[in-house]
Structure 1
Amino acid sequence: MTSSSLRDDDAPDYSYMQRVKVYKLNENGTWDDKGTGHVSVEYMEQSDAAGLVVISEEDTSTLLIHRISRDDIYQRQGADTIISWLDPEIGTDIAISFQEAIGCNYIWGQIQTVQEEYCSSKGEVARAARRVVDEFDVSGPKAAEDCFQDSGSGSIEFPCPDMNNLPEVVKIITDVSSPMAHEKVAACLVKKGYLRKLLDVFRTIEDLEDAEGLVLTFKAVKGIVLLNDTTLFEHLLSDDTVMDVVGALEYDPELPAKQDHRAFLRDSVVFKEVVPITDPAVRAKIHRTYRIGYLKDVILARVLDDATFSTLSSLMLFNNVEVTLTLLNDPNFFQELFSRLHSHEPSKPEWQDLIAFLQELCSIAKYLQPVHRQQLFNTLICNGLFNVLTLAVGAPVPKTRLFALDILLSSLHQEPSTLRNFLNHQPNHELFGLLISGLVTSDQDGVQEQTLEILRLLLDPESVETSVNLFLETFYDKYVDQLVGALAQCLVKQPEGGDSSTPARPPSSASTLGLIVELLCFCVKYHSYRIKYYVLRNNVVEKVLKLTQRPEKFLVVAAVRFMRTCIGLKDEFYHRYLTKNNLFEPVMDAFVTNGDQYNLLNSSVIEMVDFIRRENIKSLIVHLMENFGTKFENITYVETFQELKIRYEQLQEGRGMQLPPGTTAPEALASAARLLPQTAGPGFRGIEAAAALCEQRTQRRREARMMDKDEEDYFSTGSDDDEEERSAGM
C-alpha cells in the first residue's frame, strides 16, 4: 500500500439510522402521525440557534423545525428509540420515533452537546450553535465522505498500518466516544482489508519480539472489540483472522505473564460430534460461536463493558438458534440421534454425551419462535423422547439425571398435556414412580428441586384437559402415600436393643422433608376435595406437625406454613378438624419455646394468629383463647394477642353469654374468669369475679334493650297521634 492513508470513497450510508416518524399530541390526547423523514441537527440562521429538522422522505418537505432549548425538557422513552418534549413555543407535546436505537442515541447526544455548549458559551449562542452543528452534522454529503471526525477539528483518516503509525492507530481507535463515531471507525477497519493489514503488523512485531509494539497491538485489538460492531465481530472471528486476534490479546500488560490462548484453542479444544453434521456452514457457525464464548468469558472477561458483553451474548444466541433451525430442517438428523440413543447403553459415555446434546438443544429451544419450538418438541416426542428420558432419570450417573430432568422441564413449559398423557398410559407408570422416589430419597444437589418443580407443573389443575383429572387420580391413588410416609418417619427413634451412642438415621434428609411439605402445601391450595378427604382419612396434619419436634428451625417453619395454608382456605372443614384434634398445641408449644427471638418461626406464628383475627374465624379464635389464653397473656412485644383477646370478648358479648350446646354454667363462668385482667384485686377473682363480669354484661344488654323499647314506643306513639289528627280533620 503506497498511499499514506485510506480513502473513504465507498463509505456506507448511515441515513437509515436517522429515519424517524414525527408525532404531535392533539387536543383529544392522542398522537397524530405527521409523517416519516430523516432528522438532523442544523444551524438556523433566523434564530441563531441549533435545531432539530426533519425532512420528509416522500416529497422533501419539512415535517419539523424545532429550536433546541437550553432547558431540560427532553425525555427518552420506548426502549430508547423515542425522544419527546413539550415545545414551549407552541405549547404542544412533540415526539420523534427512531427506526434504530443507535440513531436515537446519536441525536440525543447532539441535543445534550448543544445544551452544554449553550451553558458554556455565556451568551454566544450563535457561535456555539454553529460549532456544534459543524462537529456533528451527518445529514449532508460530508457525512458519507468522512470516515472519522474528531471533535472541533477536521476529518482524521487512518494512517497506513505499519509499526511506525501504530501509536496513532491506537489513539484513533481508543479515543472514540459517540455511537456514530464507533460505526465510522468500524467501517474504516472493515473496508479495503485494513483489519487484515493491521493483524499482519502484529505478526511482524511478534516475530521481532518487540515488547512495546505487542502492548500497542493488544490495546488496538482490545479497542476494536470494544467498538461493539457486529460486522466487525464477523471479521474478527473468521477462520483466517481469529488466531491472530487471539494472539494479540495474549499480551495483556496488566497480567504477570503471557496467556497462551492460541495453544489451548489449537491443541486442547476438541469438537465432539455426537451425531455427524454434514453441512460445512453449520460446522463453521458452531466453531465461531465457541470462539465468541471463549473471547467473552475467558480472554476479555475483565475488560468488557456491559454493551459489548450483551452484543457477544446475543451473537452466540443467534448463531445457536440458526444452527438449531438448520438441524430441524434436516429430516435424517433426529432419526440418527435417537437411533444412537436407543442403541447405546445408558452407562456408556457416548450415551451420556447424547443426553447432554439433547439437553442443550432443548435449552436453546426456548428462544425459538413458538411455531418452530412446537415443531422441535413434536419431532423429539415422535422419536421417543419420553422413553429415553425414563432411562435417563433412572441412570446411575447424577449428571445424566440432571440433564433428563431439565429436558422434562423444557417439555412441560412447552406442552404439559403431552407428558401427562405419557405418564398416564406408560406401563407401570415407571417414569412417574422415578420422579416420586427422586423427590423422597435422592441426595444429589439439584435433583430434588427440579423434581419438585416438575411435579408442581404436572399437578397444576388449572388446565382444562381431561388428562389432568386422570393424572391426579393416579397421584392420589398410588404416590401421595410415599410423601406422607416420609413425614411419618421424620423423627429419629432409637431401635430397641440398639447402641444409644449411635442414634438411628431418619430415612429422609431435612431438605427432603421441607420439599415434601412444600408440595403438600401446593396440593392443599389447588386440589380442593381430593386433598381434603385424604387429609381427613390419613391424619396428614398430625404427621406434618411432627416436624415441630425437629431441631431444624426451617422444618418447624415448614410445618407452620402447612397449617397456615389449611387455615388460609377459610374452609370450615379444616377449622373443625384442627380444633377437634387440638392441632394448634404443637405449634404453640414451639412458639413458646422459641421465646421472643425475632426469627422466621416467631413471625410465621404471629402472622397466622393475626390472619385468624383479621378474617374473624370465630371457631379458631374461641379455640385459641380458651386453650392458650394464659400463654398469650405474657406476650406483650406485639399487640396481636391482645387484639385477639379483644376480638374474643366481642364474640362472647355478641353471643349474649348464651351457653353453647354441651357447656355447663360453671364451665362458662370459668371461661369468663380467664378473661379477667391481671390487675384485679384480691376480692375480685375466681367464680365471684366471673359472676360479677357476667352480671355487668347482662345489665348493659338489659339497658340497651330498654332503650330500644323506649325508642319503639316513642315512634309508635307519634304514629298514633298522627292518625288521630288525620281522623279529626276528616
Structure 2
Amino acid sequence: MPSQMTTNDLLFHASVDPGFLDETLIVWSESDTCDLALSFQDKTGCEDIWEKICQVQGRDPEQHPDYTGNYDELDDSDGMENGNQGYTNQRISNNTITLPPCELSRLQEIEMMLSNSFASAGAREKVAYAVENQDYIPKLCDIFHMCEDLENIEALRRLYQIARNLFMLNRNDILDVLLNDKYFRDIVGMLEYDPSQSERPKHREFLFEKAKFREVLPIKDEKLSQKIHKTFRVQYVQDVCLPAPSLFEENLLSALNSHIFFCRVDIVGMLLEEKQLMKELFEQLKDRNTDVERRKDLTMFLKEFFTFSASLQPNGPQGRDAFYKTLMQNDVLATIEPCIMSKDVQTRASTVELFVMMVEFNPQTVRDFLLQQGRTLSESKNDQLLLNRLIEHMLTDHDPELTSASSLAQVMRVLLDPDSMMSATNVKTERLEFLTFFYRRSMDTLCRALLKNTEGDHPNRG
C-alpha cells in the first residue's frame, strides 16, 4: 500500500492469499491469525471484484488457488511440491486430489490441507472425496490410539483440528462414518484435545459412563431406544464438543444439523406409533394421584416431545398438523390443569410452555375445550376452570423474571383477540359465546388482586 503523498513511501506490505468461498465471498489471509473477507449479495458482484483483483495482480481470474493458498502452476503428471507448506507429491487430476498418507509424521500436512480446503466449495468437495476414497477415518482412529498411549499432546491437538475439520467438510457420507458406533468414541476423544482449552474436557467419560438414559415410560421398540441414544450423543457433539462456528463457517455444519433434524423427525413418528406408550403418558398426567416427582418426569418428557415436533413439516401424514391432532385425540389439554397445580416449580413452568405451544398451534381448539369445560362445571366451581387456574398462576408467579406470567399474558391476549376468532378456520364457537364466558366466569379471578387492594372506589395504600 503506497502513500498517497508525494514521498510515495510504502506504508503497508502483507502476503495475501485470496480465494473464493461459496461464490459470494472473497477470503484471504494476511497472517497465521488474521482472516479477512468481502461478502457480496450476489455471485455477479463477487465475480466482478474478483476479476479486478486478479487484473491488478496479473493473474487469470479462472485460475483458483491450490490447497496451500498459492497460485503455483499445478502439474497433473508430476504432482506438486511446496517446501514452505510441507506438501509433497500431491497428485491433482481433473476433479480429484490425493491426500498425504495417513501417518503420524504427516499429521501437520493433513491438518493444513483440510484447513485450506475451505477456501472454496470446489476445493472442499475434492478433499472430502479424497477422505472417503482413502479410508482416512479408520486410519486416524488408529493413530489416535497410538498418540494417547504415547501421550503425544502435540499430535493429539492436531487430531482435534483434523476431527473438527472433518465435520466441517459438510458431507453426509463422511458424517455417517464419523457417527458410526465403531469410530464415534475415538472421534469424541479427538475433540477432547482442543488447544484453546486449559483443561481437557472429559467428553467420553460423560457420554459413555456418566450420562444415563432415564426411561420415563417403557420403550419396547429397540430401534426407537437406539435412535434416542444416538440423537442425544450427536446433539452433545454439536453443542459441547465442536466450537461455535464463526460467521464464515455457519453453513459448514448443515449436514450435521440436517442429521439431527431427521433424527428428531424419526423419533416423533416412532413415538406416535407407540399407542400404548401414549395412552400411559396421558393417563398418568391426568391422574390427580400421580406423585409430584413422577408428574415432573412425565411433563418434561411431553415437553421434549413437543420440542422435537418443531422439526416436522407443517403438513403431511407425519407433519405438525397430524402430530397435534393425535395429541388432541389423546385429550392432551386435560393434562394441563392437574400439572399447573403441581407443587413443583419446574413442572408448572414446563406446563405453561406446553400450553403456549398448544395455543400457537390452534387457539380455536383451546377455546372450544375451555367452553366445553365451562358447560360441565357450574358457576360455583369457577375456581376449578382451567382458564382460572392459569390466570391464578399468572398472578402469583414467583419467578423474579416473570417468565411464565409474561407467556400466559400473551396467550390470554391471543385467546381473547376477536380478530383471531373471526379468521379461524372451521369455527365451532361464536365470538360472543367465548367472550361472554370469559367475562362471566373469569373476569372476577383476573381482577381479584386489584379488588383486594381497593377500598371503596380508591386504591388501598396500606
TM-score with structure 2 setting the length = 0.73
**How far apart are residue 308 of structure 1 and its match?**
4.1
Amino acid at match of 1:128: D
1:325 matched to 2:269? The reply is: yes
Which residue does 1:207 correspond to in 2?
Answer: 149
Distance 1:75 1:174 in 2: 23
Trace 1:684-699 onto structure 2 (pairs within 5 A).
none
1:383 matched to 2:330? The reply is: yes
Which residue does 1:267 correspond to in 2?
Answer: 209
Secondary structure at the aligned position of 1:274 is classed as coil
Aligned residues: 385
Instruction: Check conservation: 1:420, 1:467, Cα contact below 8 A.
Output: no
Which residue does 1:439 correspond to in 2?
Answer: 394
Amino acid at match of 1:470: E
1:168 matched to 2:168? The reply is: no
1:374 matched to 2:305? The reply is: no
Question: 1:348–1:484: structure 2 CA closer, same or farther, 3 Å change rule?
Answer: closer
Distance 1:149 1:470 in 2: 80
**How far apart are residue 343 of structure 1 and its match?**
5.7
Amino acid at match of 2:105: N
1:246 matched to 2:188? The reply is: yes
Trace 1:466-615 onto structure 2 (pairs within 5 A).
466-490=429-453, 546=459
Which residue does 2:296 correspond to in 1?
Answer: 352
Instruction: Check conservation: 1:149, 1:181, Cα contact below 8 A.
Output: no
Give me the CA root mean square deviation.
3.5
Amino acid at match of 1:337: L
Distance 2:432 2:291 in 1: 36
Instruction: Check conservation: 2:312, 2:320, Cα contact below 8 A.
Output: yes
Distance 1:366 1:221 in 2: 30
Which residue does 2:418 correspond to in 1?
Answer: 461
Instruction: Check conservation: 2:264, 2:309, Cα contact below 8 A.
Output: no
From 442, 448, 458, give the equivalent of 2:405.
448
Trace 1:19-168 onto structure 2 (pairs within 5 A).
76-77=41-42, 83=43, 113-121=50-58, 128=60, 132=63, 155=92, 156-168=97-109
The C-alpha deviation readout for 1:47-78, integer Å capped at 9, x for no partner, is xxxxxxxxxxxxxxxxxxxxxxxxxxx9745x
Residue identity over aligned pairs, in percent, reads 27
TM-score with structure 1 setting the length = 0.48
Distance 1:416 1:431 in 2: 15
Distance 1:363 1:279 in 2: 21
Question: 1:134–1:460: structure 2 CA closer, same or farther, 3 Å change rule?
Answer: closer
Amino acid at match of 2:440: D
Distance 1:172 1:404 in 2: 51
**How far apart are residue 232 of structure 1 and its match?**
2.5
Distance 2:328 2:81 in 1: 59
Instruction: Check conservation: 1:237, 1:291, Cα contact below 8 A.
Output: no
From 408, 422, 430, give the equivalent of 2:385.
430
Distance 2:438 2:116 in 1: 66
Q: Which stretch of structure 1 is more off in the superposition, 404-413 or 329-338? A: 329-338
Distance 2:397 2:199 in 1: 45
The C-alpha deviation readout for 1:508-538, integer Å capped at 9, x for no partner, is xxxxxxxxxxxxxxxxxxxxxxxxxxxxxxx
Amino acid at match of 2:328: I
Larger-gyration structure (1/2):
1
Secondary structure at the aligned position of 1:241 is classed as helix
- Structure possessing the higher relative contact order (Cα contacts under 8 Å, 6 or more residues apart): 2
Distance 1:165 1:239 in 2: 26
Which residue does 1:224 correspond to in 2?
Answer: 166
Question: 1:278–1:238: structure 2 CA closer, same or farther, 3 Å change rule?
Answer: farther
**How far apart are residue 353 of structure 1 and its match?**
1.4
Instruction: Check conservation: 1:363, 1:410, Cα contact below 8 A.
Output: no
Instruction: Check conservation: 1:238, 1:288, Cα contact below 8 A.
Output: no
Structure 2's unaligned 5+ residue stretches are 1-21, 24-38, 68-75, 378-383
Amino acid at match of 1:213: A
Which residue does 1:291 correspond to in 2?
Answer: 233
Question: 1:384–1:302: structure 2 CA closer, same or farther, 3 Å change rule?
Answer: closer
Distance 1:134 1:317 in 2: 35
Distance 1:397 1:384 in 2: 23
Distance 1:480 1:341 in 2: 28
Structure 1 residue ranges, 4+ long, deviating more than 6 angstroms after superposition: 133-136, 148-153
Distance 1:150 1:456 in 2: 69
**How far apart are residue 195 of structure 1 and its match?**
0.9
Instruction: Check conservation: 2:160, 2:193, Cα contact below 8 A.
Output: yes
Question: 1:279–1:235: structure 2 CA closer, same or farther, 3 Å change rule?
Answer: farther
Distance 1:468 1:311 in 2: 47
Secondary structure at the aligned position of 1:240 is classed as helix
Question: 1:76–1:149: structure 2 CA closer, same or farther, 3 Å change rule?
Answer: farther
Question: 1:159–1:218: structure 2 CA closer, same or farther, 3 Å change rule?
Answer: same
**How far apart are residue 346 of structure 1 and its match?**
3.7
Distance 1:343 1:202 in 2: 53
Which residue does 2:34 correspond to in 1?
Answer: none
Distance 2:178 2:81 in 1: 25
Question: 1:369–1:217: structure 2 CA closer, same or farther, 3 Å change rule?
Answer: closer
Secondary structure at the aligned position of 2:439 is classed as helix
Secondary structure at the aligned position of 2:357 is classed as helix
Instruction: Check conservation: 2:286, 2:338, Cα contact below 8 A.
Output: no
Distance 1:329 1:184 in 2: 42
Which residue does 1:394 correspond to in 2?
Answer: 341
Distance 2:268 2:224 in 1: 9
Distance 1:332 1:411 in 2: 23
Amino acid at match of 1:450: S
Distance 2:66 2:150 in 1: 41
Trace 1:585-664 onto structure 2 (pairs within 5 A).
none
